[in-house]
Structure 1
Amino acid sequence: MRQGRRHGLSVEQKADIWRRWKLGESLHEIGRAFDKDHGSIQFLLSKYGGIAPAIRRRSDRALTLAEREEISRGIVSGSSVREIARGLRRAASTVSREVTRHGGRTVYRASEADDRAWKSALRPKLYWLARHRRLRLIVASKLMENWSPEQISGWLKRRYHRNESMRVSHETIYRSLFIQARGALKKELVQHLRSRRQIRRSIHAKAAGQSRGQIVDAISISERPAEIEDRAIPGHWEGDLLSGSGNSHIATLVERHSRFTILVKVPSKETAAVVEALTRQVRRLPASLRRSLTWDRGLEMAKHKTFTVATKVDVYFCDPQSPWQRGTNENTNGLLRQYFPRKTDLSGYSQADLDKVAKQLNQRPRKTLDFETPASRLHASVASTS
C-alpha cells in the first residue's frame, strides 16, 4: 500500500461528506472529492449507520466561552463572585458553581472549562426500543419473519391502537438497526431486510440510478471450496475495478497462490463491456490457471454467468461491504496506485501500457512470498502441475 502521512477530516469536511451522502453520491464519488479511499468514507458513515448524526448545540441557559472568559478576567482582577455575576447578568450561584466545578479561583481557565463542560454535556440516552423490552422482542420477531420496518410499524398501530407505548415508527426501527450504539436490535437482523444494506442510503441515490441492485444467482464466497482458501493450488483469482478520473477504469486480476497480476483495459464499467474484456483475457490463460474468480459486489459482473460459460471459471461474490474478503486484490490495487495515482484519467492507457505495468509489478519481490517474485512463483507452480 502507498505509505504516507494520514490526514484527518475537519468538522467542515465531515459535514460536506454527510451532505453529499444525503444527496445520493456514491462512496467512490465522495472519496474522489476528498482524495480518500472509498473505504475511509464508508468507515466514517458506517459508525452512524449512514444516518447523519444530529448537530450538537449548546443550551441557551449554558455559559458561553465569552462568558467564561469574562469570569476568568474577573478572577484575575480580584472581583468577587457577585461582581462578576452582575456583569454577566447571571445568578451568583451560577458563577460560584462554575468556578468551583473547574478547580477554583487559583486554577480556573476559560478555554479548559469550556472544553470540559462541552464534553461532560454528553449524556448516555436509552432509545425507545431499548427502554421497552416487550416491544423490542415483538419487532425483532417480525423482522426475523422478513417483515419490513414499515409493515411492522403499520401492524403495531392496528394491533395496539389503544396502547401508544406499543407503537414505533419505521424510521426508529431502521435507526435501531443501522446505529448499533443504540443497543436495541441486534445487527444480524439487518440480514432480514430486503436490501440487506449495512448502512442507510439516501432516497436520492435511487433517483440518480446509483442503487447497487442485486446480482442474479450470485454465488456467495462462503460456498467457495476449501482449496481456494489455503492458496495451495494456482488458478484461483481475485478481481475488481481500479477507478480513475472521468469515470475511467482498469480491471485488475490477482492470482491468489502467486500474487501474479493481470491488468485489463475496459472501455466502461458496464457489465457487458467488463465481462467481454475479462473473457478475452482469461481465455488466453492455460486451463490449469482457470479455476475460479472472486469479485466484489459491483454490478459490472452482473453477467457473471456469461463469463463462466465462456471461460469455465466459476465466479464467487464477496459479502456486501466486505472488500477485505478479497484482500489480495485490495492490497495489489494499493500497490498499483504507485503507477496510477488517484484522479488519474485511466482511459489514456493502452493494453500494451497496462501489460508493461503488470510486468514490472510481477517482477518485484514480495515479502509475503519470502521475497520471491510473483512471476517466478507462478512459473514454478505451473511447471510442477503440468
Structure 2
Amino acid sequence: PRIYYTESQKALMWERWRKGESLQQIAQLFDRNHSSIQRILAETGGIQPVPRCRSRLTLTLAEREEISRGLIAGHSIRSIAMRLRRAPSTISREVNRNGGSSDYRASLADQAAWDRALRPKTCKLVHNRNLAHLVAEKLQLQWSPEQIAGWLRCAYPENEEHQVSHETIYRTLFIQARGALKKELLAHLRRTRVMRRSRHHTQKTDNHGRIVDAV
C-alpha cells in the first residue's frame, strides 16, 4: 500500500536531506523503507519545493461570504464591489468562475482558489524556447546551472524573460519537465546524480542514497 506522510514529516525529511543524510538514515526516523522517502524527494529532484501561497490581493473567505450574502439579497455586482472596495471586474470574475449568481458558494469558491494557488506552475523553460536553447547550449559547454543563471542576469539585465534561477534549471533537468530540456543534458552536469544532494552530503553513502534513473 502507498505510504503517506504529513506535511510536518515531509518538512523533517527535507531538513535531514539538506544536512546530507542518506535515504536509509531518513527512513529509519519513520521506521519505513527508504523507497517511500525516495518517492517524496524524487518528485522535485531532491530540491525542496517552495511553499505556495496566495497573493495578498486575493479575495479572503470573509469577502467571499460577503459576496454570497449580497447575491442572495439580490444586490448588484457593482454594489457588492463598492462595499468591499474591490473592482467590479474582480467580483464579476469571482462569481462567474464559481457557479454564477445563483450557485455561488463562498466556502467552495475559497477552496477552489486554494487549489489553484497550490497547483504546480508550468516550467518557464517549457514556454520560452529561446531561453531553453540558451540554457542547453551552456550545459553542453559544461557550465553549471549557477554559472548559467549568473550569466543570464548579466547578459540580459533588463529582460526577465531571458532570466531563470539555477534551481529552476536543476529542477527542470531532474524532474524532466516535458519538452523543456532533453534528458541527455544531464550528462553535462558536473554532478550527474539524478537527485540533487546537499553540499553537506558525503560520498560514502550506498545505493540507497541515489535515484537510479531520471523521471
TM-score (norm 2): 0.73
Counterpart CA distance in 1 for 2:74 and 2:187 is 64
Q: 1:10 to 1:87 in 2, by over 3 A?
A: farther
Q: How large is the Cα RMSD of the aligned pairs?
A: 3.7
- Do the aligned partners of 1:50 and 1:199 also contact (CA within 8 Å) in 2? yes
- Do the aligned partners of 1:99 and 1:108 also contact (CA within 8 Å) in 2? yes
Match for residue 26 of structure 2 among 25, 30, 34: 30
Provide the aligned length of Structure 1 versus Structure 2.
Answer: 206
Match for residue 297 of structure 1 among 202, 207, 215: 207
Identity of aligned residues (%): 47
Which structure has the highest helix share of the two?
2
Highest CA radius of gyration, 1 or 2?
1
In structure 1, the residue corresponding to 2:211 is in which secondary structure? coil
Counterpart in 2 of 1:284? none
Q: Could you tell me how far 1:21 is from its partner in structure 2?
A: 1.8
Match for residue 126 of structure 1 among 112, 124, 127: 124
Q: Does 1:321 align with 2:208?
A: no
Counterpart in 2 of 1:21? 17
Please give the per-residue CA displacement for 1:28-59, whole angstroms capped at 9, x wherever unaligned. Answer: 22222233321111111111111111211211
Q: Could you tell me how far 1:198 is from its partner in structure 2?
A: 0.8
Counterpart CA distance in 1 for 2:146 and 2:91 is 53
- Do the aligned partners of 2:45 and 2:195 also contact (CA within 8 Å) in 1? yes
Question: Aligned AA for 2:193?
Answer: R
Q: 1:183 to 1:322 in 2, by over 3 A?
A: same
Please give the per-residue CA displacement for 1:306-336, whole angstroms capped at 9, x wherever unaligned. Answer: xxxxxxxxxxxxxx5349xxxxxxxxxxxxx
Counterpart CA distance in 2 for 1:105 and 1:170 is 45
Match for residue 76 of structure 1 among 57, 72, 81: 72
Q: How does 1:149-298 map to 2 (within 5 A)?
A: 149=144, 153=148, 157=151, 163-164=155-156, 173-181=169-177, 183-206=179-202, 211-212=203-204, 297=207
In structure 2, the residue corresponding to 1:13 is in which secondary structure? helix
Q: Could you tell me how far 1:148 is from its partner in structure 2?
A: 5.1
Q: Could you tell me how far 1:68 is from its partner in structure 2?
A: 1.3
- Do the aligned partners of 2:18 and 2:198 also contact (CA within 8 Å) in 1? yes
Q: 1:67 to 1:7 in 2, by over 3 A?
A: farther
Q: How does 1:64-103 map to 2 (within 5 A)?
A: 64-103=60-99
In structure 2, the residue corresponding to 1:95 is in which secondary structure? helix
Q: 1:78 to 1:10 in 2, by over 3 A?
A: farther
Question: Aligned AA for 2:211?
Answer: Q
In structure 2, the residue corresponding to 1:85 is in which secondary structure? helix
Q: Could you tell me how far 1:201 is from its partner in structure 2?
A: 0.9
Q: 1:120 to 1:189 in 2, by over 3 A?
A: same
Question: Aligned AA for 2:108?
Answer: E
Q: 1:171 to 1:297 in 2, by over 3 A?
A: same
In structure 2, the residue corresponding to 1:127 is in which secondary structure? helix
- Do the aligned partners of 2:194 and 2:212 also contact (CA within 8 Å) in 1? no
Structure 2: state its 5+ residue gaps. Answer: none
Structure 1: state its 5+ residue gaps. Answer: 214-295, 300-319, 324-386
